[in-house]
Each structure stands twice: as C-alpha cells, then as structure tokens.
Amino acid sequence: MDKKVLSTVIQLRRGTETQWKAIKNEFVPAAGEPCVTLDGANAGQIKIGNGVDSWDALKYSGVGGLDVTKIYGDTVDSSKATIDGVTYTTTSDAIAAVVNNATVKMSGGLSEGESLNIDKNITLDMNSAVIVDDEKCPMKVDTSGELTLTGNGSVECNKNVEPAINNCGKMIIENGSYTRTVDEKNDTFYTILNHGETTINGGIFQAPGNVSSMIENGYWDYNSTDPKYGHVDGQNAEICTLTINGGTFINAFYVIKNDDNGIVNINGGKFYGTIFHNGIEMTINDGYFEVSDGTYNIGLRKLNDNMNAGKTVINGGIYVSNGESNFKINDGEPEVIIKGGKFNKKVPVTFIAEGYEQNLVDGYYVVTKTV
C-alpha cells in the first residue's frame, strides 16, 4: 500500500514563564493545541489545550526535553486562500484578485518565498494560519492599503531588522498572535512597525527578552531617508497614530515605543512591560499596566516642542510597579497631566492636574477630582 507523505512544518505556541503567567487565566488554548514553556523549571514542557480550560488550569503533559531555543517554521504545505468560496493557490494570488472591501480567508500559511503586500482595502481572515518568515518581513501594508486582520492565526518574523508587520497605511487588528524571535546573531527588531495608522482591538503581542522594543509607533529618526526609520513622502505617513482598545502586550523591554511624530491613544488592554513615550502626545484612558523587573510603567522624554514633545495625559488605568516609581523622566521636562487612575506608587505632585488630588485607597494612590 502506497504511503502519502505530507511535507509540512508544525509550529507550537510558546512563551517564557513570565509571558505565560501574564495571560495564564485569560488565554484558553484550542483543543489539541500544544503550548511550550521556553525557560525556567518547566523549560521544554508542554501543556495541551482542551478548548475549555485556561492555560493556568491545564497540567503539563509530561512530554518534555524539547530543544526550545528556536521553535518555528518557514512555510506550511497548505498555502491556499479563498474569496467567497473561490480557492486560490496562494494568499498573494487571492489578494491580487480581490476587489476592495472583500474578505480573504487563509487555509494555511504562506508558500515558500511568499510575503504579503497590501495595497487595497481588504479583510484578511487568518483563520488558524501560521505566517512565519525567517528572511524578510512577511506582511506589509502600503500607503494605499487598508487591512483588517481577523481570526486566530499568528504572524512572526525571525529576520534581523525586519518586523513581523510593517504598516504604512491603515491597519486594524481584531485578534491573533504576533511575535518574533532572536535570530542566530542574537539580533531582533520590532514586532510591529507602525508608520501609518494602526488600531488594535485585541490579540496577543510578544517579543523576546530585552533586545528590542516590541511596537514602534513613529520614527526612530524622522529625517532619515530610509523609510524603515524615517519619514519619506509617498512611502509612509507624516504623523503616525496608534490606538489600542484591547489586547495583551508582553515584553521585557519596551512594549510600546512612541517615537518621532507619533501619537498614541490607549483605551484598554493589558501591558506587561514599559511604555516609552518620546513622541508628540500620548493619552491613556484605561488599561492595566504592570512591570515586575524593578523598572517603571511609563518612561517619558521631551527633546523639542513638536515631534518629540512627550506630552502625556492620563485619565484612568491601573499601574503596578515593583520599582521605585510608576514613572521615569528620561530627559527634558515633558508635560504630564493626570486626571485619573490608580497607582501603587505615589504620583509626583507636579503631574496631578489642577483641581485633582491623590488619596491612598486600598494600597493604591487614586487620582480624582478635588471635592
């Protein structure tokens, strides 16, 4: 009897002990989904999802001894995608054929050498696809593109100086998993590079260790002629805007770095790592912010009065740090206006808006209007 051989790559969901603990009660692995712990006492151990219990409630399967230095793949055998029931050989073929406002549904990952370039208005249903690239950025949104990402798939890049997603147009992320690993030279890059307009409503975002910031909003050097680092007319936006309404963000370094000509609005989400604000303005209305490495939740810097003003407005949120403060001024005197929120460290008086006060309530300094 002839045997059918399927050539494929299986990618396992994985995370460090810190990353798993951060989402231990909210993440429910799908039935049969393997979840690998990368470090600590349980390094190489696997929990198998049942579609019902959270990661924390699951037991380790007893399967271990995996080499977890790098667990990722390049491509999968099934690279097909569909539009309204019509099947295309690759996702790129489907995107090329699609008209604006249509939905492309993936059935697997990308074919060998394939990357996605979005130059129109589409919804990409990742389904449960694994999108991985070790040589280049697997997904880019051009200035003319408008991309909405849905589904429970994952996007990953493992190439130095290449992000998992490079957005120069408009992008909405509804769900999914986004990460990258350290390459063979111990180098990495941003998981998401936003040089356009990005809205995040959900998803899990991760990056390894303390090698790089995870999400870059704005420009590392606005005047650079390289569009990966600076503003270039026709290739990216003059002002970069990042709005976060939900999601889980995990990184030992900066989870978000708001840089030259960047504007950030945070209305929700869970952030396990520092947010560094060096752009035009950042407004936080809600969210949970925690650091456990002795650092601070919010780092601030003002270099000038325009693209690096560092202005910060906080109207709410919960801030937890095991360091000396929830804030650190790295340079200059950025304007900080706090009108709400709960902080486990005393807020500098100069940060509290006129007509507001802080009071210690149940272990938190709570900022409210003065009665």
Note the pLDDT of residue 111.
85
Strands 86-88 and 46-48, sheet pairing:
unpaired
Distance of alpha carbon 287 from alpha carbon 312, whole angstroms: 15
Of 48-57, 181-190, 359-368, where does mean pLDDT reach its minimum?
181-190
Burial of 155 (0-12, 13-18, 19+ CB in 10 A): buried
Q: State percent of the chain over pLDDT 90.
A: 60
Note the pLDDT of residue 5.
39
Is 19 or 276 the better-scoring residue by pLDDT? 276
pLDDT tens, position by position, 222-244: 999 999 999 999 999 999 999 99
Q: Which amino acid is at 11?
A: Q
Residue spans of the domains in the chain: they are 1-71, 81-369
Distance of alpha carbon 262 from alpha carbon 328, whole angstroms: 19
pLDDT grade, residue 194 (50/70/90)? Answer: very high
pLDDT tens, position by position, 247-270: 999 886 799 999 999 999 999 999
Q: Which amino acid is at 174?
A: E
What does DSSP assign to residue 260? B
Is 11 or 122 the better-scoring residue by pLDDT? 122
Q: pTM score, two decimals?
A: 0.82
